[in-house]
Structure 1
Amino acid sequence: MTHQSPLRNFLRTLARATCVAGALALVAGINWVATRENRRFDLTARKVHSLGEKTLQILRGLKSPISITALYPGVAPEAVADLLGEFRRAAGGILTTEIVDPLQNLGYAAQFGNRIDAQERRVVIQAGKAREEIDCTDTPLDEGRLASAIYRAVTESSTVYFLRGHNEYEFESPEPDGLSRLATSLRDLQFKVEGLGLAGAGSKVPDDCRVLVIAGARTTPSDEEKKEISRYLDDGGHALFLVESAIRTPSGTLTEQEQRANPTWNDVLSRWGVTMGDDVAVDISNHMGQDIGCPATSKYPDHDKIVKGLGITFYVRPRSISFVKPSDRQVLFAPLVQTVSGETSWAETDRTLYVHFDEGQDLRGPVTIGSVLLQDPKTWKDGKATKLVVLGDADFVTNQYTNRYSNLDLVVNSIAWLAQREMLAPAEKTGTPEQRLEMTAADIKLAVAGIAVFPVLVMLFGLNVWLRRRK
């Protein structure tokens, strides 16, 4: 029988007690830190439980107190309380939130003009004298709706005019070839959206025009209209040109009407050094579906206020854009969007749709299909500077192409930059975002090679080894 000394027993007990005390101290320390430091970690792949970057930009840019009151009969959904808490924490004390049951607080709810109803759910945002309301009776509150309402409450309205009279894409139309989704996004940014005709005698661009949008004019404007638009730009105006692609035909022969269709606006743009090509940008490696005339790209040279956070955009028969510095004015030019490839993309000039690179005739890629132009700050007049965004396509932002990809975001961000809006409202989020696998033609080829070709090669190699061993 082994006899253990009292000293050894004491040391063993002391070691055990020390371990227990250390563990308790560690747990207590962690809990103490947790109560003082409120930190959250979102481990989901797409950060679905975190506020978006543009929402954070809005909240961090708040200059004066703002209050949010959620009027929910009974018990408000836990998701609403969580969302309001996220906004409150991100705003850093300048934003207050509360959830009120109007059935239990009749007098308090009455000051918000709320109808006492067991079904109605409403969120009221107040910033000084400004007030915005969100009806959540049928559609649940989400980050996008709340951020957009806050943005509207703290932002003064300004007007975006869409040129009319030349068969442009219609901003009020909900049809697939309309621009109603673009108009809705602009209104969410506190823009007024109006149409503008310049065909009448003495017609002028209104003084309250913050941005003039030319969305795919398909008939040639008159000389008077072009002169008025040039005057507006010379006076420090801001404009977005969405220039429709040139008409192509397999025969190569265009009628006189087809030759006049889809004007380049070079009469106006060339005064600022910009020239729209009579061509189509093609990309053999990166395009949508099987159409090499619909280049897909995420190549955006540095211009964070417009392209930061954008995903893939694609274009339908886009024109190329070139720049030659004008001699009579000081301007700063920068590419905004380019095709991805160098060797496998170019600006095709052949009108017969025969796609083949011709040295000395076609422009080798990367092809610029979007650009930004700013009047040199040294030549500003009364603090006003001409700003242009020019894109070599128009129908890429119609309703049929804006349900996915970043086409709509690119145009909305461009207009916001032209209007000198420092904060951008995010696109609305509803529930868990749909996860789609977006693949260009090059991605599809690589996937096919990995899924089908490589396994077949392995099987053939194995079969060859097996046959040799049998012999």
Structure 2
Amino acid sequence: MVDRPTDNSDETAIERMGRRAVPPDPRLVAAETARLSPLAVAGKVAGWVGAAALLVALFWVGITKQMTITPKVLLALGLVAVGFWVVTNITVVVQQVRARGFQAVLSSMLFTLFIIGIVVMINYIAGRHSIFRADWSEAKLGSLHAGSLEIVRSLDQDVTITAFVSPDYYAADHLRRLLREYEIHSSRVKLHMYDTKLALEKVEEYGRPYDGTVFVESGDRKEEVQGGTEEQISSAIMAVTTGQKTTVYFLTGHGELQVDAFGEQGLTVLKRYLENEQYEVKSLSLATEKEPRVPDDCAVLAIVGARQKPMEHEMKAISSYLSEGGNLWLALASPPAPDFAELLTPHGVRPLEGFVMDPARSLQGNPQVPAVLQPEGHDIVNGLTMVALPTVMAFEIDAPEPAMPGAPPPAGRPQVLLESTASAWLETSTSGPIGQDPDRRMGPLAMAVALDLSSASEPPPYPGAPEPPVDDSGGRIVAIGDFDFVRDDLYQAGLQSNVFLATSSIGWLARSERLITIPPHEPPDRTMVLATTQKNLAILISAVFIPVLVLLTGLFVWWRRR
């Protein structure tokens, strides 16, 4: 038996193997960082400064929308600084580019840019050829109003729009987008846009117009628009295609609101809107005429806030005008002013004594100023947001019954434009507490009505029978139980829809429904009004409760890990 030598050491086989010299894996050993030269350090600093300069230049151009000398200098300095960094650190840059991680990031970025490029090209092609277009904004800020669309789509002759807009014009982008919408929706519209500061020959040809001027031409007719709102451009298109203006006369001499006055007694805002819609606005004084007669070119006669009753021969002239197919816009003043019942009662509308009080729906909680939110049911009020009528009177509609059960109501029936809530009542007391009369008339109450006398024909002989032909020779009447709603000062106070109610009424009376109410597109008001209790609760939650909750959560976590 051979005795093997024994090893008295305590070393194990693994320890003996560890003493062997195993060369390290170069992939697992971090490369020693070489000491950077002063030039390389300066290049690094220049790289950061150049990147910051490029970002500032990009933000500058994105915010101001102008490539002035400042962003140009920043852009040049940024590119030089970044280039200096690349040159002084070329070795490091090459190593980083060759690294596997950079290659993966670069591939991902290129793939992302490729997808974004496809989406951008699809959007560009769709926008250029007017396909797959949709305006998803709540207020439809990027599209034309329905009235403008009807105008451009019904054109039967070519219209040329020439706009002079420079990049320095304050609303250049908005005006270009707006004019582009007209060209997109009609092949009849030809759009030409020129830079006021570069297209000098065209500027001289059009008489050196101001920046932002738009010319609308058709045949030998031309309209000039300064500012370029949708209402003005649509009205100019109507003016050059129709070749005539509709005349609206405002009666004077009885305390009415004046179209040339300002403030509480003025209608200058309404006059401006009507003139923008290609109406010709004139004043009419029948009291000074020996034989009063409404002019033959009067498309609409407006009586706004008459405080004294017209004389008998004036009333005969107005009645004769209505019987001959004239159109009347009547806005009543508060009693003891005349209510013109002799003009309304024969057609089934009777003015009621008293004022409408509506605590359930009013302006700023004042029941004496009833408000109607988003009225509907008639072309005049469709599209309006809110109409407020201070000290408004009510009307009773004497609706004739149908000829037989199941038959439609007789034609020519008055239609309610604005109506109060069921909680409203008619206040007839001029002194003492309001709402105390147990016999008061309750709502809903009609505050504005429209009558189409041209449709006052016989009803069908039996249900399902075809409608008889309508006689268009009759006139139209719009009666509103208030006149203050259209004053200039209320428009300045924010009640723009009141003026749009007036323009829509006149457009319906003059049978110019294509231009009924083209209000400006404005983003919805998201102002949140909090009561005192709600304000205090919001302050308590944000300033006390949330900080204390965060502090207690931190203490709890610290205690658990302690």
TM-score (norm 2): 0.64
**1:151–1:425: 8 Å Cα contact kept in structure 2?**
no
Displacement of 1:68 in angstroms is 0.7
Alignment of 1:116-265 (within 5 A): 120-135=211-226, 140-155=227-242, 156-199=244-287, 200-246=289-335, 261-265=336-340
CA deviation string 1:415-436 (max 9, x = no partner): 000000031176575xx94754
Q: Aligned to 1:302, what secondary structure does the other structure show? A: coil
Sequence identity of aligned pairs in percent?
26
The one of 332, 346, 349 equivalent to 2:413 is 332
Task: Name the residue aligned to 2:158.
Answer: 65
Whole-Å Cα distance in 2 between the matches of residues 383 and 42 of structure 1?
A: 38
Whole-Å Cα distance in 1 between the matches of residues 285 and 234 of structure 2?
A: 34
Task: Name the residue aligned to 2:183.
Answer: 88
CA deviation string 1:344-365 (max 9, x = no partner): 2111111225311534x42211
Please tell me the residue identity of whatever aligns with 1:98.
H
Please tell me the residue identity of whatever aligns with 1:51.
L
Whole-Å Cα distance in 2 between the matches of residues 95 and 154 of structure 1?
A: 12
Whole-Å Cα distance in 2 between the matches of residues 345 and 355 of structure 1?
A: 12
The one of 372, 384, 392 equivalent to 1:318 is 392
Task: Name the residue aligned to 1:254.
Answer: none
Task: Name the residue aligned to 1:16.
Answer: none
The one of 377, 401, 425 equivalent to 1:302 is 377
Displacement of 1:31 in angstroms is 6.8
The one of 344, 348, 364 equivalent to 1:289 is 364
Deviates most, 382-391 or 150-159: 150-159
Task: Name the residue aligned to 2:427.
Answer: 348
Deviates most, 174-183 or 329-338: 329-338
**2:508–2:516: 8 Å Cα contact kept in structure 1?**
no
**1:55–1:426: 8 Å Cα contact kept in structure 2?**
no
Query: Considering only CA atoms, is the larger Rg found in Structure 1 or Structure 2?
Result: 2
Whole-Å Cα distance in 2 between the matches of residues 356 and 424 of structure 1?
A: 41
Alignment of 1:375-386 (within 5 A): 375=453, 376-378=455-457, 383-386=472-475
Q: Aligned to 2:181, what secondary structure does the other structure show? A: helix
Q: Aligned to 1:159, what secondary structure does the other structure show? A: strand
The one of 446, 452, 457 equivalent to 1:368 is 446
**1:348–1:357: 8 Å Cα contact kept in structure 2?**
no
Whole-Å Cα distance in 1 between the matches of residues 370 and 166 of structure 2?
A: 51
Displacement of 1:287 in angstroms is 1.4
**1:301–1:335: 8 Å Cα contact kept in structure 2?**
no
Distance 1:381 1:141, change over 3 A: closer
Deviates most, 447-456 or 272-281: 447-456
**1:188–1:425: 8 Å Cα contact kept in structure 2?**
no
Distance 1:452 1:229, change over 3 A: same
Residue 415 (str. 1) matches residue 506 (str. 2): yes
Please tell me the residue identity of whatever aligns with 1:224.
H
Deviates most, 34-43 or 228-237: 34-43
**2:147–2:518: 8 Å Cα contact kept in structure 1?**
no
Whole-Å Cα distance in 2 between the matches of residues 211 and 353 of structure 1?
A: 41
**Total equivalences in the alignment:** 405
Residue 394 (str. 1) matches residue 483 (str. 2): yes
Whole-Å Cα distance in 1 between the matches of residues 123 and 223 of structure 2?
A: 36
Task: Name the residue aligned to 1:98.
Answer: 192
Whole-Å Cα distance in 2 between the matches of residues 435 and 367 of structure 1?
A: 29
Distance 1:64 1:338, change over 3 A: same
**1:171–1:183: 8 Å Cα contact kept in structure 2?**
yes
Name stretches of at least 5 consecutive residues in structure 2 with no aligned partner.
Answer: 1-110, 402-409, 459-468, 546-562
Whole-Å Cα distance in 2 between the matches of residues 453 and 276 of structure 1?
A: 48
Displacement of 1:148 in angstroms is 3.4
CA deviation string 1:385-441 (max 9, x = no partner): 121100000011110112323111111100000000031176575xx94754689xx
Distance 1:87 1:291, change over 3 A: same
The CA RMSD over aligned residues, in Å, is 3.6
Whole-Å Cα distance in 2 between the matches of residues 269 and 57 of structure 1?
A: 33
**2:141–2:523: 8 Å Cα contact kept in structure 1?**
no
Name stretches of at least 5 consecutive residues in structure 1 with no aligned partner.
Answer: 1-21, 247-260, 463-471
Q: Aligned to 2:360, what secondary structure does the other structure show? A: coil
Deviates most, 66-75 or 310-319: 66-75
**1:147–1:425: 8 Å Cα contact kept in structure 2?**
no
Displacement of 1:171 in angstroms is 1.2
**2:374–2:383: 8 Å Cα contact kept in structure 1?**
no
Higher RCO, Cα 8 Å, sep 6+: 1
Distance 1:37 1:384, change over 3 A: same
Displacement of 1:299 in angstroms is 6.1
**1:132–1:153: 8 Å Cα contact kept in structure 2?**
yes
Q: Aligned to 2:534, what secondary structure does the other structure show? A: helix
Whole-Å Cα distance in 2 between the matches of residues 244 and 353 of structure 1?
A: 22
Distance 1:78 1:187, change over 3 A: closer
Whole-Å Cα distance in 1 between the matches of residues 281 and 293 of structure 2?
A: 17
Deviates most, 276-285 or 191-200: 191-200
Whole-Å Cα distance in 1 between the matches of residues 290 and 194 of structure 2?
A: 57
Whole-Å Cα distance in 2 between the matches of residues 325 and 426 of structure 1?
A: 28
